[in-house]
Amino acid sequence: MFADEAAYQQQVHRHLFGNSSAFPQPLQDRSLDIDLTVTLDRNGKLLSVDVDRSSGSSEDNDNVVTGLRRIQPFPPVPGDVQVPYKIKLPLTFAPTRNVAFINLKGSKAASPSEKEIAFRGEILKRLYSYDHRPVLPDNIEKPADARPTVVFSIDRDGKLLDAAVTKSFGLKMVDDNALNWLKKAGPFPSIPPELKAPMKLTAEIVFGPPTFSDDARIKKLINGVCRGC
């Protein structure tokens, strides 16, 4: 696989997960693993979808295909990549209560600057666009206060310098998934010149609907509501 093709596949995954709300409602409340082969034309139009494997019903599969058709066109295929272009898409759907969200904390300042708030919003966007977000299996009981916490640092260019679990969920598998999320989602956006680098951040992993404890403006940034922040 060429570098351009690998970069293009990342664009497709980000487009897919950035538009996940367009999938039919029944998929929002189900656990489903499905492997697809998707064929695109040069302009990102969906030509065909083949279901290679699915843990769900034919109705579930049809709903996934409906969702894919809703979010086209996908990003245009680069000129040096052969078309029609086939890409493998392994997808996992899970009830919101089982999906990982993040409370992201930055500096210890009582009132972080607008620049820092905006930058943390960009970090969250990158994490939420990553296509292997942790999902808590249905057979694992979630203690009320079980929130694994990962502390990580990035340099001026957004490269991850280090990451470590500082508070455990209580199960190594869940801790490892949370840590891998942070490690594999990079590179992160570059730190603006107005902010200090390297930057240390604390990510509290929450399974269930997000609650941004340190600043509600981050939620607006993630939802694309905040203008001029």
Residue whose C-alpha is closest to residue 91's, from 38, 151, 127, 167: 38
The residue among 115 and 221 whose pLDDT is bigger is 115
Span 59-87, mean pLDDT? 93
Q: Do residues 118 and 229 make contact, with C-beta atoms less than 8 angstroms apart?
A: yes
Q: For domain 97-222, give the CATH number.
A: 3.30.1150
Angle, vertex CA 221, rays to CA 13 and CA 217, nearest 5: 150
Report which secondary-structure segment, H or E, holds 88.
strand 85-93
Q: Do residues 214 and 103 make contact, with C-beta atoms less than 8 angstroms apart?
A: yes
Residue 31 pLDDT grade (very low, low, confident, very high; cuts 50, 70, 90): confident
Q: How far apart are CA 212 and CA 104, in angstroms?
A: 8
Residue 207 is predicted with a pLDDT of 77
Instruction: Tell me the chain's radius of gyration from C-alpha atoms.
Output: 19
Q: Name the percent of the chain lying above pLDDT 70.
A: 79
Residues 6+ apart with CB under 8 A from 191: 119, 154, 155, 156, 157, 158, 197, 198, 199
Span 70-94, mean pLDDT? 89
Residue 107 is predicted with a pLDDT of 60
pLDDT exceeds 60 at position 187: yes
Residue 90 is predicted with a pLDDT of 82
Domains 3-93 and 97-222 share a fold: yes
Longest dimension (CA), the chain: 53
Report which secondary-structure segment, H or E, holds 18.
helix 3-18
Residue 87 is predicted with a pLDDT of 92
Residue 158 pLDDT grade (very low, low, confident, very high; cuts 50, 70, 90): very high
What is the per-residue pLDDT across 4-14, written as a single tens digit (0 to 9) for each?
Answer: 677 788 788 77
Locate the domains of the chain by residue range: 3-93, 97-222
Span 88-97, mean pLDDT? 76
pLDDT exceeds 50 at position 170: yes
Provide the mean pLDDT of the chain: 80
Residue 218 is predicted with a pLDDT of 43
pLDDT exceeds 50 at position 205: yes
* CATH class of domain segment(s) 3-93: alpha beta
The residue among 120 and 50 whose pLDDT is bigger is 50
